[in-house]
Amino acid sequence: TPLFDPFISAYQVGAMNEGLHIFKNPVIGYEMISLWINYQQANEYNPPHNHGGDISFVTYLQVPEEIVKENEETKHLHNNPGPGMICFDLGPDMPMSVTRVGKMPQVRDIFIFPAWLQHHVNAFKSDVERISVSGNLRFKEIDLATLHDKI
């Protein structure tokens, strides 16, 4: 899917710039291994989980203003990601550490992250529906051992 190419390239460059050696062999492409649509309604949440494959993504098609407003109205009540936020869990809670990042998505936002990264979606109470599309990708790598045997 050529539409993903710039995002995947940026992800790979970012990983390499951070010193993350996430690929054993040169990557020659990727394939979509799953794709689904999420219809989230009031009081529904998605508990902490991760995915198969190498990369996961979510993009938002519909984010009702009521959810954004609900989140804004509750910010003063807690120090955690609020209603309707997607949360990325970076490890166990520890003193003096940031272990969770929450984002309030907007229409057309796309979040691309390692498939192994725990994440969850907070419930909201507004009587509306949020629609997102999620999927998982697997990188195609050149098998250098097999290639070497053929030479």
Q: Where are the domains of the chain?
A: 33-139
- The residue among 23 and 109 whose pLDDT is bigger is 109
Structure confidence at residue 15 (pLDDT): 73
Fold of 33-139: Jelly Rolls (2.60.120)
- Given pLDDT bands bounded at 50, 70 and 90, which one contains residue 23? low
Whether 148 shows a pLDDT value over 60: the answer reads no
- pLDDT tens for 95-117 read 887 888 899 999 999 999 999 99
**Is the overall model pTM greater than 0.85, yes or no?**
no
Q: Return the closest-CA partner of residue 74 out of 90, 85, 63, 61.
A: 85
Q: Return the closest-CA partner of residue 69 out of 141, 149, 126, 150.
A: 126
Token reading at 82? 């609020």
Residues 17 and 118: their CA atoms lie apart, in Å, by: 22
Token reading at 130? 């949020």
- The residue among 68 and 27 whose pLDDT is bigger is 68
Whether 3 shows a pLDDT value over 90: the answer reads no
- The residue among 54 and 35 whose pLDDT is bigger is 35
- Given pLDDT bands bounded at 50, 70 and 90, which one contains residue 150? low
Judged by DSSP in three states, 53 sits in coil
The listed range with the strongest mean pLDDT (54-58, 97-101, 128-132) is: 128-132
